[in-house]
Structure 1
């Protein structure tokens, strides 16, 4: 990562035990910050639980906490699902937890599969004051023609809501035999739907390291974005993440990728 001018990082919750989600944040606080890593945290809160209000309060008390993720990705195939059940976005108890985030100024990292993008669009409409960040481009997991069509249509629907941004990240998890040519249409569709003011590049490391190196990921992003203006590239690589994840104390001599 040394040659990519990384000036800050945002840690996104990594599957710590739900009963002790604040424990992950406490652990993060013990780690060395001298190299500019772990600048902000997106933490876990199980929003449907009755303890959610107290957990949100506890997490928000850490000044590096800027957002919450409660993974919603569900698929009929048990081997592919991350969430315990389908329909969580419509659960009144879960929505009650989500409603508390905005008052603390916390964004919500939205991790869903393409089959759930229409539900996510309805959720965004129901919570217009909540900032959502769609993870991994909406996880285009089905790579056949029909699967990619459903992903494209769902992404376009979700992007109609101005309170949703997209994180272009971990595409190699859904395209193990990736090439620059296979990644390009996915990245460009995200930018076409959300524009350069509501999209950001993200590494998703170390998870993405299963299928690509950090250099390969960011060299690919740079190649795909090379035709955009300097301001557009600056927004995708730095500016939008700085705004959404409240990196106000982070500066860079250049917002363009090195």
Structure 2
């Protein structure tokens, strides 16, 4: 099967610093100690098995925030090697949009040919176990002012939030209807132990899907389901596709993070099994075409 993997990470610990891998620990997403090793393009392609990886989208890997542009520079150097086959075909770079340096960083990222978008992790949760950033960036005037610069550079935004933040995110998407958003990891449905939690995720998906400039990545599900099976993933995959439609959803691996809980080939074959009844055109859209269109690759 052919795929365009719209969400992967690479890192080289010999030459770059990733603060979260300095002293990794165990969290709800798994044991990061098992990720403290180089993970390069050859590593990912080498474990693809029978999956024909046509194109890759690299999403920022929490590189040293003091120099986020260095990660993009390194990735572009990989792209420019003949043996890379142009991968990663798209780069989603890191910028702290609340920083005074954000305009300069955006301009620097945009100068690289393969840069297509920006991600800044926004996950806030009242439970400290799940809280990533401890502040509501979307409510900050400076952050919102710099966010508006994305359009100037023709950059999309990878939106990583929880369901409790979806209403604010939908308002942001409506306010910036000329900027494309990609909701990461199917909205990161973490509050799975209550009816209210499920309703917040389900209704939030549809609120975001009502914004025609918002797409969704079906990825990262193993972070919340460490012993996943095709049947355990099925309701989340189908609910997400039902909300966004086959024209604005795309599958992705979230490797090597989801590698903690299964092989690359097993994950893609699970997606294929879940949508087995879809048409050929629908499968092509979910596995390849939507990602190619969104990231212009």
1:18 and 2:68 are equivalent in the alignment:
no
* The one of 236, 242, 253 aligned to 2:286: 236
1:207 CA displacement: 0.8
1:97 and 2:132 are equivalent in the alignment:
no
Deviates more, 1:122-131 or 1:146-155: 146-155
User: Whose relative contact order is higher, 1 or 2, with alpha carbons under 8 Å and at least 6 apart?
Assistant: 2
| 8 A Cα contact 1:141 1:174, kept in partner | yes
| 1:140-155 correspondence to structure 2 within 5 Å | 140-146=189-195, 147-155=197-205
The residue number in structure 2 matching 1:169 is 219
Runs of 4+ in 1 over 4 A off after TM superposition: none
Q: CA RMSD in A?
A: 1.2
1:33 CA displacement: 5.8
The residue number in structure 2 matching 1:125 is 174
The residue number in structure 2 matching 1:4 is 51
1:210 CA displacement: 1.1
1:219 and 2:269 are equivalent in the alignment:
yes
Question: How many residues are matched?
Answer: 246
Runs of 5+ unmatched residues, structure 1: 248-258
Could you say if the C-alpha distance between residues 38 and 162 of structure 1 is closer, same or farther in structure 2, counting changes exceeding 3 Å?
Answer: same
| 8 A Cα contact 1:108 1:132, kept in partner | yes
Could you say if the C-alpha distance between residues 139 and 33 of structure 1 is closer, same or farther in structure 2, counting changes exceeding 3 Å?
Answer: farther
TM-score, normalised relative to structure 2: 0.80
Deviates more, 1:50-59 or 1:87-96: 87-96
Helix, strand or coil at the partner of 2:222:
helix
The residue number in structure 2 matching 1:82 is 132
TM-score, normalised relative to structure 1: 0.92
Q: In structure 1, how many angstroms separate the alpha carbons of the residues matched to 2:189 and 2:266?
A: 20
1:47 CA displacement: 0.6
Which digits, 9 at most, give the CA deviation of each residue in 1:179-225, with x for residues without a partner? 21111110111111100110000111011111121112101110111
1:29 CA displacement: 2.6
The residue number in structure 1 matching 2:249 is 199
| 8 A Cα contact 2:163 2:204, kept in partner | yes
The residue number in structure 1 matching 2:240 is 190
The residue number in structure 1 matching 2:30 is none
| 8 A Cα contact 1:33 1:39, kept in partner | no
